[in-house]
């Protein structure tokens, strides 16, 4: 299983794009066994609400004071044997899969 751990603070306007890119990445690469964890660093906007509006695969952790602690909190909550950390203001391209999981490297 792959655990996608997204972190952010006050990124409600762009978080949806990040989470959708993870979902598309998994769908386009036939990844069915994954989870998405969003770790929020005390946002004052609608970031948590947006994260919770996604699939039931989303786990949300609130109140991580900084990026390092947010990543550690995501790691602790994850159940995957592969961990993929992403900032909530980034997106994944579907063809990134072959660059990461190509066994010929």
List the CATH number of the domain containing 18: 3.90.550.10
DSSP state for residue 89 in the 8-state scheme: T
Cα-to-chain-centroid distance, residue 81: 15
pLDDT band, very low/low/confident/very high, at 1 (cuts 50, 70, 90): very high
* Mean pLDDT on 8-28: 94
In a domain, 87, yes or no: yes
Distance between CA atoms of residues 86 and 11, nearest Å: 13
Contact 5, 83 (CB under 8 A): yes
Q: Decide if pLDDT at 104 tops 80.
A: no
The pTM of the whole model exceeds 0.85: yes
Q: Count the domains in the chain.
A: 1
* Mean pLDDT on 83-87: 96
In a domain, 11, yes or no: yes
Contact 88, 22 (CB under 8 A): no
- Residues constituting the chain: 105
Residue among 53, 48, 54, 70 nearest 22 (CA): 54
Task: Using the Cα atoms of residue 50, residue 12, residue 28 and residue 92 in order, give the sign of their dihedral.
Answer: negative
In a domain, 104, yes or no: no
In a domain, 102, yes or no: no
Which domain covers residue 70, as residue numbers?
Answer: 2-95
């Amino acid at each position: 299983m792959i655990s996608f751990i997204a972190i952010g603070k006050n990124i409600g306007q762009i978080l949806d794009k990040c989470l959708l890119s993870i979902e598309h990445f998994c769908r386009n690469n036939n990844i069915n066994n994954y989870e998405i964890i969003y770790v929020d660093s005390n946002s004052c906007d609608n970031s948590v609400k947006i994260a919770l509006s996604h699939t039931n695969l989303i786990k949300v952790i609130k109140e991580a004071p900084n990026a390092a602690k947010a990543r550690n909190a995501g790691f602790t909550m994850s159940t995957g044997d592969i961990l993929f950390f992403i900032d909530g203001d980034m997106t994944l391209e579907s063809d990134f899969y072959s660059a990461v999981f190509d066994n010929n490297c």
